[in-house]
Chains A and B, each alone.
Chain A
Amino acid sequence: MLDVKMYDSKDEIAWCPGCGNFSILPALKQALAELELEPHEVVVASGIGQAAKMPHYITVNGFNGLHGRAVPPATGIKIANKDLNVIIHSGDGDTYGEGGNHLIHGIRRNVNIAHFVHQNQIYGLTKGQGSPTTTKGQKTTMQFDGVRMDQLRPLALAVSLDCSFVARSFSGDKEHLVSIMKQAITHKGYALVDILQPCVIFNHVNTYKWYKENSYYLDESYDPTDKVAAFQKALEWEEGVPLGVIYKNEKPTYIDGVPYLNEGPPLVDRKWDPKEAEKFMEDFR
């Protein structure tokens, strides 16, 4: 186990006092330390939002890109250098709203990435508008009469897409969160983890207390390899929010499907002499 202090950042944290994000940050450091991944071996990629500020608060490589666009660069980084451990930290709005299309195809592409969604069921940084996971009918700073759309079930979406690893955890249970994070990071394939994270300023419905009272842990009898059961589990919400690994399907990753990437050196180490392309000119003789 490495010293968690090695991941400390000098940057001043801009989250609100009491925010659930404050518990996710140490859990990530703990998970990396336990996995003995040094800062230079890890990249945290993100979009834009409160959650997406994560790359600044931890000393590892960081790519803080555009709102909704965390998945494409993270995918690119892993394709470019398969030796890097690529982790996405972004919000529910970023991942399921603006970036929804990338999530769908990121899951299909199955690049070996761990994707941690800070699920506060609200747009935090833009001050409290409804997100795709805000409860239907909930009043927000934009939806004065309540959100009109159905609440997205992101994990059911992921299971339906046969996402390689699907889990949920809670910022209020560090031990559980660290364990799930470690499993997601070491899992070979796209690993989506929804992390319940109270927004103390803008979401007065899904509070720390609400998450605590409305969630329950999946026990040993639950089989995460049964896709149909997993889909049902992923749909559960009102009747209780399941925590734990919901679905797991070990299958070849994107890089496994590209033999020269899989067997060869990382793409970034590719040696290339322009003269090697001269043979292609024969096509035009």
Chain B
Amino acid sequence: MKYNILIGGSAGQGMDTWAVLLEKIIKRKGYYVFSNKDYMSRIRGGHNFIQIRFGTEPISSHDPKLDIIVALDKNTIDFHTERLQENGVIICDQAIEIEDKRVLALPLKELAKELGNPKVTGTICMGVVLKLFGMNFDRVEEVFEEKFEKETTELNFKAFQEGYEYAQQQFHIEKGGEDQHILINSNQAIALGALAGGVGFFAGYPMTPFTSIMTYMSEKQEDAKMVVEQVEDEIAAINMAIGTSYAGVRSMTGTSGGGFSLMTEALGLAGIMENPLVVANIQRPGPATGLPTRTEQSDLSFILTASHGEIPRMVLAVRHAEDAFYQTVRALNLADKYQMLVIILGDQYLSDATETIKPYDFSKVTIERHIAGKESFKDGEYKRYQPTEDGLSPRIIPGKHRGQIVLTDSDEHNEYGHITESAEVRTAMMDKRMKRMDALKEELIEPDYFGVDHPENLLIGWGSMYGPLKEAVALLQEEGISVGTLVFGDIYPLPTKLLEKYSTTAKQILNVEQNYTGQLAKLIRQETGIHCSKSILKYDGRQMCSHEIYSRVKGEVL
């Protein structure tokens, strides 16, 4: 059982606030929830909407078919009614003129006025929605109480009840189970992972859709006794984080496309200094300012070589909110272990998509710093770039050892960190830095696979395509199509075992990506020689859903 609610209106109508409350109430009633947002880069006006899907089975992406439309304006009805089911309901104010037997026109504005606050329109709608599903009052008041002061809670609860009275039950739904989940989006998950993983310093500059990572950490900084600093630009952000990392603090920065472009020179700095650093890039459609509030997976090719020169790097894409937490923790540990740059890729879709997931298991989180002590001094002398077999030199914290200093440099340098132009030293240092990639390759995580054992049609994707691909494969399988999908989280270095296994028997390999050039397919070709026979690509700033993949696979491929 799954239902889908769309709430639409213009920016500034406050629907963000109450949609979050509605999601939370449904979740507390023991249902699985998945919600996503579609909004414009403006503060007032325009058309924004939120879709809340819920049900009694896990849900991993959004769906086009709607059961309820809550229309705070006429646009919402014009834009979305096409997707409404036959037995669906449109909730709107009676002032909106519309011919559709599915309309439930209510005196929303008047009711709100009577209650003394136009802002409660949304809460009235919330009451209507719950009644349509025949849900009771359980958990409603507590959710209001957690969000509002006493007076506002009372007002909202009253508004909620008014709405509830105005409707009749329309859908006969199964009861929810016990609420054992958390409801979280991937940006919050990255932030929580960073906090759990012991990040002591985070620097950044606001940019959608990255900002909410920093906002969450900033809110918790005092409690966690760590520091979040909003700096003058992204160049400062990354250079400052490299400074704190050099000084021994686990450090992280983050941004979105344009800011990442500004950071590129310093990615190389982290590389040549062998400074651990985690950078989160939450993608949005480029180039330049692009579509600031929309989604795309078009930074992969860029990120694989971003920064001049050659450095060791790891790139991993978060696939969903559960993954985002654990991958962030892992990124931090790998950065410290290999004294290198780890880039986390997210995107707007995931950053605004909340999911019900199992609570994180904090006992599984470890902090592995790999900081060396006195034992690392050879003949009583510390050398930051001491040659070793695996290319990793012991890293100590400057200031902690009397008589020992730590010198690091952006120029090519010798084992002491002093500038050199020696051909031999240069070669040795390049080898030293790049060698760690071999060890890293041994601990990659293979992509997730869903589908039949020997698929004739293999769909390949990465990051946020996880949910839509997983559901699309289920839809195709229902029709007896021999299909499977590999969804990459670790992307660079590219894990190849499962790819090789499934690609040998597949008759067709299709890459499904939110970009124009098929960037994952390109990487796969480069690393393995495996060619994708066809691409399913989208670059309009809106995330593909499972139905879209399903129909494009059937229409364009089969």
A-B contact list, 5 entries, CB within 8 Å: A62-B417, A64-B409, A64-B417, A79-B240, A267-B201
The CA of A11 and the CA of B132, in the complex, are separated in Å by: 78
Interface residues of A in 35-75 (CB under 8 A from B): 38-41, 43, 45, 48, 53, 55-56, 59-66, 69, 71-75
User: Contact at B269–A277, with CB atoms within 8 Å?
Assistant: no
Is B226 part of the contact surface with A, judged by Cβ < 8 Å? yes
> Which of the residues B182, B198, B226 comes within 8 Å of A274, measured between beta carbons?
B198
Residue A136 at the chain B interface, CB threshold 8 Å: no
Among candidates B223, B247, B265, residue contacting A66 with C-beta atoms closer than 8 Å: B265
Residues of B within 8 A of A (CB): 182-184, 188, 192, 195-198, 200-201, 203, 220, 222-227, 229, 231-233, 235-237, 239-249, 251, 265-266, 269, 329, 359-360, 362-363, 365-367, 397-411, 416-419
Report B-chain residues with C-beta under 8 Å of the C-beta of A38.
402-403
A284 to B329, CA, bound (A): 19
Please report which residues of chain A, range 220-274, place their CB below 8 angstroms from some CB of chain B when the two chains form the complex.
Answer: 258, 260-261, 264, 267-268, 270, 272, 274
Q: How far is the CA of A84 from the CA of B397 in the complex (A)?
A: 11
Closest 6 CB pairs of A and B: A76-B243, A73-B243, A80-B247, A72-B239, A274-B365, A277-B196
- Give the B-binding residues of A (Cβ under 8 A): 11, 14, 38-41, 43, 45, 48, 53, 55-56, 59-66, 69, 71-77, 79-81, 83-84, 101-102, 104-105, 258, 260-261, 264, 267-268, 270, 272, 274-278, 280-281, 283-285
List chain B residues, Cβ under 8 A from A43: 247, 398-399
Chain A residues near B266 (CB-CB < 8 A) = 66, 69
Q: Which of A11, A40, A48 contacts B402 (CB 8 A)?
A: A40
How far is B181's CA from A285's CA once the two chains are assembled, in angstroms? 7
- B192 to chain A: closest CB distance in Å? 6
Q: B265 to A258, Cβ gap below 8 A?
A: no
B407 touches A72 (CB 8 A): no
- A61 in contact with B399 given A81-B247, A105-B236 (CB within 8 Å): yes
- Bound: A35/B360 CA distance, A: 51
- CB pair B195 A80 closer than 8 Å: no
**Minimum C-beta distance from B430 to chain A (A):** 19
Find out whether the CB atom of A76 lies under 8 angstroms from the CB atom of B366. no
Contacts of A101 in B (CB 8 A): 232-233, 236
Q: Is the CB of A11 within 8 A of B399?
A: no
Q: Is the CB of B417 within 8 A of A81?
A: no
**Shortest distance from the beta carbon of A71 to any chain B beta carbon, whole Å:** 8
Q: Is the beta-carbon distance between B367 and A272 smaller than 8 angstroms?
A: yes
A48 near B410: Cβ-Cβ < 8 Å: yes
Known: A104-B232, A275-B363. A270 touches B225 (CB 8 A): yes
A53, B231: Cα distance in complex, Å? 26
Whether A258 contacts B192 in the complex (CB less than 8 A), given A66-B410, A72-B243, A267-B200, comes out as no
Please judge, given known A-B contacts A56-B418, A64-B410, whether A280 and B233 are in contact too, CB under 8 Å.
no
A65's partner among B220, B239, B248, B365 (CB-CB below 8 A) is: B239
* Contact call B182/A268, Cβ cutoff below 8 A: no
Q: Which residues from chain A contact B222 at a C-beta distance below 8 Å?
A: 260
Q: Looking at B198, B232, B329, which has the most chain A CB atoms within 10 Å of its CB? A: B232
| B249 adjacent to A64 (CB under 8 Å) | no
A63/B246 contact (C-beta < 8 A), A72-B231, A281-B359 known: yes
Given contacts A79-B227, A277-B192, A281-B192, contact A272 B198 (CB under 8 A): yes
* Alpha-carbon distance A267/B229, docked complex (angstroms): 14
Chain B residues positioned under 8 Å from A83 (CB to CB): 399
Across-interface contacts of A80 in B (CB, < 8 A) = 200-201, 243-244, 247-249
- For B235, list chain A residues within 8 Å (CB): 69, 72, 102
Whether the pair A274, B399 counts as a contact (CB closer than 8 A) is no
Bound CA–CA A100/B535 (angstroms): 46
Across the interface, A56 reaches (CB within 8 A) one of B184, B197, B232, B407, namely: B407
